[in-house]
Structure 1
Amino acid sequence: MTTHLALLRGINVSGHNMIKMEALKTTLEAIGFQNVQTYIQSGNVFVDIEEENALKVGFLIRQEIFKVFGHEVPVVVIGKDDLAICFRNNPFLKEKDIDTKKLYVAFVSTTLKSESINDLKISQFKPDEASIDGSRIYIKYAVGAGKTRFDQKYIEKKLNVTATIRNWNTVTQLLTLFEER
């Protein structure tokens, strides 16, 4: 049995793509997922299944959400090791007196090349900063996520990927939950 963390993008945001977490849990259990556990309303779902391939797991979840709820919801699936690496490798945590409330991670659907940072043209968003590490983009917003154009839509358009962003507090909590499983 493999535990996966499915990060659903764009559910329960501003009244769009509304899905109750209990209904999502029941839906996923009905198609064979076990130990389904959700964390907050923004679409963080732990599932256990024999399938090891994260892309297949994401496809199953995306397909069932569309079938049951009628929402086209992008899904990025990651494992415990990937989340632990994410936690250890955030370059902004090395800064003295860093305000973790300004830190975010964009989880993307594919491994990025280090030169992909050039494609993002992050300099036009200064003082926001970003750093790429595998299938993650670490982001440090100067003011806040709600006051920038350097968002998930921009990342997806520039890099031709599926992306979903979580704040650092959520990343920390998800790792704790993964370790408790």
Structure 2
Amino acid sequence: MSDKTVYILLFRGVGGKTQLPTAPLREALSAAGFENVATYINSGNAVVRTSLGRDEVISSVAQICRDKFGFTKAIHAPTLEEWTDLIAKNPFPHAVAVPKFLHAAVLAEGPAEESIEAVQAFAADGEGFAVIGKVAYIHTPDGFGTSKLAEKFDRLIGVENTARNWNSVLKLRDLAEKAASG
């Protein structure tokens, strides 16, 4: 096994007016020396393999995105191991049956207990919300777009974050595993 780490790059706030085109992003990351670069849908997801540490990866990728694409928002970079752990710790295993209604939000740091309680207060009957380490799990069985919990989450959680639905979570794991073995 190599001494290289696979990182899943999660770009916050891509979509709408903020674009990060996948093919040029792959090319720029590869040109910068990242290996086994892959992107997933045009909503701010990439996978890279490198011997760099997380801080160096984020710094390098942030500079590429700023210089080439004018993108200046936050970038999160969990490792494949951390991502696998995120999947394993899902507190709503029944929710994976309809993966578009289950989201995992990667948090920059653990939120304050008061922030967790403030978000939880907006959970409707049947909805689920839990924070495990630096991941918030949000289950909205009636739809993410219609949920007060989902609407209030970003403002109330109190820490920088970026969320992906469970379909994306699993696809990014698959891409990361492929990058690790390739």
Pick the TM interval, shorter chain: 0.7 to 0.9
Aligned length: 175
Deviation at 1:56, TM superposition (A): 3.1
After superposition, the C-alpha distances for 1:55-82 in whole angstroms (9 at most, x for unaligned) are 3322321222111111222111101111
Percent identity reads 26
TM-score normalized by the length of structure 2? 0.83
- Cα deviation digits, residues 105-133 of structure 1 (max 9, x gap): 11111244667522x43222323321011
Structure 1 residues 30 and 154: alpha-carbon distance in aligned structure 2, compared to 1, 3 A threshold: farther
**2-side partners of 1:63 and 1:147: how far apart?**
36
- Whole-Å Cα distance in 2 between the matches of residues 70 and 169 of structure 1? 28
1:32 is matched with 33
Matches within 5 A, 1:1-181: 1-11=4-14, 13-14=15-16, 16-52=17-53, 54-94=54-94, 98-112=97-111, 117-118=116-117, 120-127=118-125, 128-151=127-150, 154-181=152-179
- Where does the alignment leave 5 or more consecutive residues of structure 2 unmatched? none
Please tell me the residue identity of whatever aligns with 2:9.
Answer: A
Larger RCO of the pair (alpha carbons < 8 Å, separation 6+): 2
**C-alpha root-mean-square deviation of aligned residues, in Å?**
2.3
SS of residue in 2 equivalent to 1:121: helix
1:3–1:46 Cα contact (<8 Å) kept: yes
Distance 1:146 1:156 in 2: 13
* TM-fit CA distance, 1:31: 2.4
Q: Relative to 1, partners in 2 of residues 1:180 and 1:114: Cα closer, same or farther, differing over 3 Å?
A: farther
Query: Residue 11 of structure 2 contacts residue 45 of structure 2 at CA under 8 Å; is this kept in 1?
Result: yes
> 1-side partners of 2:21 and 2:98: how far apart?
32
How far apart are the structure 1 equivalents of 2:97 and 2:51? 40
